[in-house]
Amino acid sequence: MGTLKSVPDLAMTLAISALQVLGLWMRRVICWLRSLRLRPQTQRSRADVPGWVLITLMSAILVAGLLAIAGPALEKMFTDAMNQVKPGT
What does the alpha-carbon distance between residue 77 and residue 36 come to, in Å, rounded to a whole number?
54
**pLDDT value of residue 15:** 78
Query: Dihedral, CA atoms, 12, 13, 14, 15, nearest 10 degrees?
Result: 50
Q: pLDDT digit string (tens) for 49-59?
A: 677 888 889 99
pLDDT band with cut points at 50, 70 and 90 for residue 89: low
For the chain, the three-class secondary structure string (H helix, E strand, C coil) is CCCCCCHHHHHHHHHHHHHHHHHHHHHHHHHHHHHHCCCCHHHHHHHHHHHHHHHHHHHHHHHHHHHHHHHHHHHHHHHHHHHHCCCCC
Q: pLDDT digit string (tens) for 5-64?
A: 677 777 777 778 877 877 877 778 777 777 776 655 555 555 566 778 888 899 999 999
**pLDDT value of residue 43:** 53
Would you say the pTM of this structure is higher than 0.95?
no
Looking at per-residue pLDDT, the higher value among 65 and 33 belongs to: 65
- What residue segments make up the domains of the chain, in order of their start? 7-38, 52-84
